[in-house]
Each structure stands twice: as C-alpha cells, then as structure tokens.
Structure 1
Amino acid sequence: MPTEDQFQAVAKMQQYILDHVNEEITMKDLARAAGYSPGHASRIFKELTQSNPFDYIRRVRLSQAALELRDSPRKILDVAFDFVFSSHEGFTRAFTKEFGIAPKSYSGHPVPLRLFLPYKVSHRYLERLKGEDQSMKSETKGVFVQVVERPQRKAIILRGMKAKHYFEYCEEVGCDVWGILVSIPEALYEPVGMWLPESFRKEGTSAYVQGVEVPMDFDKEVPEGFELIELPPCKMMIFQGEPYNDEMFGDAIEEMWEFMKKYDPKLYGFEWADEDAPRFQMEPQGYRGYIEGRPVREIRR
C-alpha cells in the first residue's frame, strides 16, 4: 500500500506539471519536485495515477490546448507552441489521436470532448485516512447563504445506475465525465454534481448524476450516452462555506451537510422544494469554499 510520503510526492509532481505546463518538463524536474530519484518517482507516479508521467503531461497539455482553441481565436500553431509541441503536424497528430477530431475542425466548430482532468492523489489519500480514522475533523467555519433565480433551461446529464453520491458515481460511470462537461461551450454555468428529484429519474438509474446547464434554445450535439433534460424556472438557496485547504475537501462537504440539515429556511420566508429542481454541488475548490444549492419556494402569506 502506498505510504503518505509517496502520496505527497506524487501530489507535488502533479502540481509541478500544472505550474510548468507551458515549459519543457523532464523526469529530473519531477524527481526534484518529489524528492526521489527519477526511476522511483516515475514508478510511484504511475502506480498512483495509472499513467506514466509523460503520457500524463501530454494529456494535460492537449486538454488545456483544446480549451484555448475553444475560447480564443488564436492560431493553431501558436497554441501548439504554447503547449510545447514543436510543430503544427505533431500537435495535429496528437490532438486528433486524443480527441478523435483535428484541431482545425474543432476550433471552427467546437464539440464536446473528453478532456483529461486528472484526479488529485492528495484527495484520494485524505479519503483513505478518513476511512481509517473517523476522528479526522477540521474546525467549523461560517456559511454564506443567498437565494438566486434560475430561469427555465436545459441540462446535459449522464445518468448512473444506483449512485447516491460522487464516489459511487465514479465507480459506476468513471471519473472522466467532468472533462466532457467542461468542454461544452454553450454551458450557462460550470458543471455540477446533481441529486435528481424522483420525477426527473428513470427506472433503474441513479439519483446522483453529473451535468451542465445550457440555454433552452440549445440545439447542438449531445455527447454519446448523455441526455438532454428540461429544467423549469426555480429558486435555489445557495450555501457557500469559507475557504479551506484543498486536502480537507471531505470535511468541508460534511460540515456543510451538517449545517444544511439544521438550517430552517422558514425563518427567511422559504420552504424546501426538493421536487422543483435538482439539488447540486459545485466542484470542491478550497479557495472559494464548498458550494451547494438546494431548491426552495417562497412561502405565500
């Protein structure tokens, strides 16, 4: 079983890759960041990420390049050079092999792609520790609450089978769904994990799904296996915790759930309306705090 030092070493290599993605990266650079020999650093990286370091770097660069091509009018050659590809031809071959579409075709007509958004091994390690030590807790922090209006809209979702939360969902459908959702240019907001109300589910499918909301007039290609559903207008009560260290994401989520369990919206003129729309969670990112939304309805007096 990997040790804490090994998890930390691979986490440092992952961070080094993100910090230097537009520069040449050698195995010596990664080994120096990890504090191990190049051979040992390469072995533990592959063990914990299921990818050798250079395949991993290539896929990270190609996915970031795809977003650049989607969102900017820059020339393909300039993007290729930015992400350390030495030629237009080499970049085109790598991009086409990774995504099944040439960069020129994609930049002219962006379609959903399966982007590579690797999971942080530091998160995996903290989840393992929590399973071993139920006493792991961070101190309780404040929560900001607001109500927002959501218009009538659609959502592109991928259903699971029995999943009730993120980790079960990953086991059922894989952890790369997010990469596809991030690539959809018409998205109204960032991708989210959703708990579907009973009326939105299909027999034999999961309560928890991942998806992204798009406008009502969305008429573009839906990724294979995904589904386009309609969401009615609603009010969402948004809960946002204080910033936290990324390694403590599990505690941040549990603390928010404890807070929401005790929270009474009637004090502010609302009631829970869980059948009106999916409850959702945004991607845990420590710098902004954990964010979750639950549908509410105004109490008529």
Structure 2
Amino acid sequence: MYEAETIMAVQRMQEYIEANILKKITLKELANVAGYSPWHAARLFKEATGKAPFDYIRALRLTKAALLLRDSNEKIIDVAIDFVFDSHEGFTRAFSKEFGMPPSKYSKSTPPIKLFMPSKVFETYRVFHKGEKEMSKENNTKSVFVQVIERPARKVLLKRGIKATEYFAYCEEVGCDVWSVLTSVKEALYEPIGMWLPKNLIKEGTSQYVQGVEVPLDYANKIPEGYELIELPPCKLMIFQGEAYNDDDFMEAIDEVWKHIEKFDPTIYGYKWAPEAAPRFQLAPMGYRGYIEARPVEAINEGR
C-alpha cells in the first residue's frame, strides 16, 4: 500500500491532467506538480494508476472526444484538434485502437463503448483503508430526505454477476469497469445505477446485485457482449437521500441511510414495501449530494 505522500502526489498529477486536458502536457509539468523528478513522478504514476502518464492522458482525451462526438455535431477534425491530436489520421488510428471502431462510424451509430474512467488514486486508497478509520466519533443524528417517484415502463441494460449481493463482491466477480460502458449509453434515461434485483428477475446462477442503466422501451442500439436488456414494468419508488458528506466518509454516509431505512415506516406516506415490484437501486455515492437509494413501494389501497 502506498504512503499518503505518494497518493497525494499522484492525485495532484491526475487533477492537473484533468484541468489541462485540452493543452499539451509535458512530463516536466507533471513532475513539478508532483514535487518529484520526472523519472520518479512517471514511475509513481504508473504504479498507482496502471498507466504511464501519456497513455493515461491519451485514453482520457479519447474518452472525452468520444463523448463529444456522441452528444454533438462537431466535425471529427475539429474534435481531433481540440484534444491535441496532430491530424485526422492520427486521431482516427488512436480512436480505433481504443474503442474498436473509427470515429466516423461511432459518431453515426454511437453504440455503447468502454470509456476510460480513471478512479482517483486517493479514492482507491480510502476504500482499502475504510476499516482503519476511528469509529468512536459521536454518532450525531442525520437528516434523510424522503420522496416518492414514479418510473414508467422501460428497459434496463445490465451486466449480471455470479453470487454478488453488494458492490465490492460484484467488482470482484465482473470487474469495476462496467460503469464505463454504462456511462457511454447515449439513450440512457437516467444515470447508471447499482441494483438489487427482485427474485423474479434473477436468473439461476447469477447475482442479486447488478449494475445497469435504464433506457427507453424502443432502445435498439447494440447490446455489448456480456450484457443483457430486460424490461421493467411501471413502478413507484421511495427515494432516500442523506445529507451531503465528506468524500472520505462515504461508507459511514451509506450506513447512516441504511439504518434510517431499516427503521422507516412507509405507511406514514400511505405506502408499503414492494420488494418484488422493481429493483432496489443506489446511485453512485457523491459527497456533494448525499447518498441516494431507492426502494420499490406500492400504495396501501392499490388494487382495492
């Protein structure tokens, strides 16, 4: 495991790359940000991220270029120049190698592709150290916002695991890069989600916990290998949203909301839990908005 000083140095380099992705970036600049020699900064960066600095920069530029081609009518040559490629040909070669198709084909059909979504090294560090935090802090009561929403009939593009019942086990079974594909889906109705499937949607030999993205009923784009498209009926969902939190405390923030849900009585809103009506789901934990989770419900007098 890396020392905190090393983690922070790599994080500074990542942040510098993100802020200057549309400019030429030199190893000397990254080294100055990190506070190490160019050779040592490059070595630390590759050890921590799995990519050499310029491989990382190229992959990030190509992902941002792909999203721009997906969501706009920009000319390919303009996108290539914006993301610091010297020529249309060089951009096309790099894009094809990264995503398995030329940018001209992608911009026309925009199928799901595996984007490069680098995790911040500091976030990885805190996940592995989540059990080392001091847990004797005063347990102050937190507010949880509750509302009921309706989802129309829709489909969900998902990837199943094997036995996973939660996020970390799912990552061990299928890898942690599913989100990068789901994020690329142009037709997505909402952001990607982690889901606990009801029994009627779990195939024999597959996991309860999956990751997916909801799409319209008429979704007709490519289904990536290993993924599946299933239909979800209309449903009501009770949304629980915790308070904003420091990103370091994401596990505690999730636990706080879960404890609230365990004690929560939905009948005060005129509803009852309906675990077989739809998947329970969670949004990606982001400190600025609080942890958000949805549980399926139905009106108490429904069907009478």
**TM-score, normalized by length of structure 1?**
0.95
CA-to-aligned-CA distance 1:116-173 (integer Å, 9 cap, x gap): 1112221221122222346176865322211100001110100011111112111111
Structure 1 position 6, deviation (Å): 1.3
Partner of 1:74: 74
Secondary structure in 2 matching 1:149: strand
Please, which moves more after superposition, 281-290 or 144-153?
281-290
Distance 1:221 1:279, change over 3 A: same
Partner of 1:202: 203
Tell me, in whole angstroms, the C-alpha distance in 1 between the residues paired with 2:62 and 2:141: 39
Secondary structure in 2 matching 1:286: coil
Structure 1 position 191, deviation (Å): 0.8
Partner of 2:229: 228
Structure 1 position 242, deviation (Å): 2.3
Contact 1:130 1:136 (8 Å CA) reproduced = no
**Correspondences of 1:1-301 after superposition (within 5 Å):** 1-133=1-133, 135=135, 141-300=142-301
Contact 1:8 1:122 (8 Å CA) reproduced = yes
Tell me, in whole angstroms, the C-alpha distance in 2 between the residues paired with 1:48 and 1:104: 34
Distance 1:200 1:127, change over 3 A: same
Tell me, in whole angstroms, the C-alpha distance in 2 between the residues paired with 1:136 and 1:23: 46
TM-align CA RMSD = 1.7
Where in structure 1 do 4 or more consecutive aligned residues deviate above 4 Å? 136-140
Distance 1:136 1:166, change over 3 A: farther
Tell me, in whole angstroms, the C-alpha distance in 2 between the residues paired with 1:179 and 1:86: 27
Tell me, in whole angstroms, the C-alpha distance in 2 between the residues paired with 1:222 and 1:247: 35
Structure 1 position 17, deviation (Å): 1.5
Distance 1:207 1:136, change over 3 A: farther
Contact 1:62 1:95 (8 Å CA) reproduced = yes
Please, which moves more after superposition, 138-147 or 232-241?
138-147
The number of residues matched between the two structures is 301
Please, which moves more after superposition, 55-64 or 241-250?
241-250
Structure 1 position 226, deviation (Å): 0.4
Secondary structure in 2 matching 1:111: coil
Secondary structure in 2 matching 1:287: coil
Contact 1:158 1:210 (8 Å CA) reproduced = yes
Unaligned runs of 5+ in 2: none
| Percentage of pairs with the same residue | 60
